[in-house]
Amino acid sequence: MTDIEASPPYDEKLEKIEIEVLLEAIYLRYGYDFRDYAYPSLRRRIWHRLSLEQLGTISLLQSRVLHEREAFERLLSDLTIPVTEMFRDPGMFEALRRRLIPAMREIPLLRVWHAGCASGEEAYSMAIQLEEEGMLARSHIYATDISKACLQLARKGAIPIDRMRLYTKNYQAAGGKRTLSSYYELSHGGAKLHPGLVERIVFAEHNLVTDRSFNEFQVIFCRNVLIYFNAALRERVHGLLYESLAPGGFLVLGGKESVAYTGFAGRYETWDDEFRIYRKTR
């Protein structure tokens, strides 16, 4: 009889205990802290991994994750599922070009941080936009994520060719001034971004939950990351983002995220409510 065949009757209270213990074990063993992530999303992703591992209980998954690094990496990929694309939400990038970039044009050295960058498409989009505005050469772009696997993909600057039709459409809708194809070459059945873009971005591992600020930035993108956190963790991460922003710097959040109802709401002015762009005022 396999583990999955021996699954016990469902017990909601016991399940919650098992999940709490699993998350505590991950934190103690590997240093990744998911304890304050939104519970429904965590539960769904843990059960997805449980099914793939063909295990009957979360406790069995905990044992495997603790003793097998590869099993932990598989679970980590489920808990940090990346959702990204080049020029995602084109209207937001159009708003950046129209409003944000003119406000940053006179900054001698522009530092941009993409927090939770996944496989890097957003960071590359920003690099293209800065290049078209003549600002890339004096910009430092930092792109960080919790996932080593995502960062390995991001550093390659390689995009599946079947994604480029959508990305080209996004680029055009975002007000692109050239053609997206002018920024990549076809290589081994995929699209390879030009080295001049790849070299302008520093990809590094950073955990918003446990790590500290590492620089001062004029622009921070943290889009569609905070929705996975509970209220207490969102407040803590907002503190990190605020601390990392230069005076007058810009914070760009996802469409369902906001600085409203946080302890930092009074320290920003809203530049664009539709696309959740805020400027630090104090």
Residues 149 and 258 in one domain: yes
Identify whether 106 is part of a domain: yes
Residues 195 and 57 in one domain: no
Residues 109 and 239 in one domain: yes
Could you report the per-residue pLDDT of 120-144, keeping only the tens digit for each? 999 999 999 999 999 999 999 999 9
- pLDDT over threshold 80, residue 7: no
Identify whether 20 is part of a domain: yes
Specify whether the CB–CB gap between 142 and 249 falls below 8 A.
no
Identify whether 114 is part of a domain: yes
Identify whether 97 is part of a domain: yes
Identify whether 84 is part of a domain: no
Could you report the per-residue pLDDT of 26-39, keeping only the tens digit for each? 999 988 889 988 89
Specify whether the CB–CB gap between 89 and 119 falls below 8 A.
no
On the CB side of 203, how many CA atoms lie within 13 Å of its CA?
24
Identify whether 201 is part of a domain: yes
Q: Where are the alpha helices (DSSP H) in the chain?
A: 12-30, 39-53, 58-67, 69-79, 90-95, 101-104, 121-132, 148-156, 164-173, 195-198, 231-244
Boundary residue ending a domain (52, 79, 106): 79
Specify whether the CB–CB gap between 116 and 208 falls below 8 A.
yes
CATH number, domain with residue 134: 3.40.50.150
Residues 72 and 124 in one domain: no
Residue 72 domain boundaries: 4-79
Residues 46 and 151 in one domain: no
Could you report the per-residue pLDDT of 141-191, keeping only the tens digit for each? 999 998 888 999 999 999 999 999 999 999 999 999 999 999 999 988 899
Residue burial 253-263, b: 16+ Cβ < 10 Å; e: rest = bbeebbbeebe
Identify whether 45 is part of a domain: yes
- pLDDT over threshold 90, residue 230: no
What is the Cα–Cα distance from 51 to 38, expressed in whole angstroms? 21
Boundary residue ending a domain (79, 107, 130): 79
Contacts of 57 (CB under 8 A, 6+ apart): 3, 7, 8, 18, 50
Identify whether 35 is part of a domain: yes
* Sign, Cα dihedral of 58, 17, 210, 280: positive
The one-letter amino acid at 55: L
Residues 40 and 95 in one domain: no
Provide the pLDDT for residue 8. Answer: 64
Boundary residue ending a domain (79, 103, 129): 79
- pLDDT over threshold 50, residue 6: yes
What's the structural domain count of the chain? 2
What is the Cα–Cα distance from 193 to 119, expressed in whole angstroms? 13
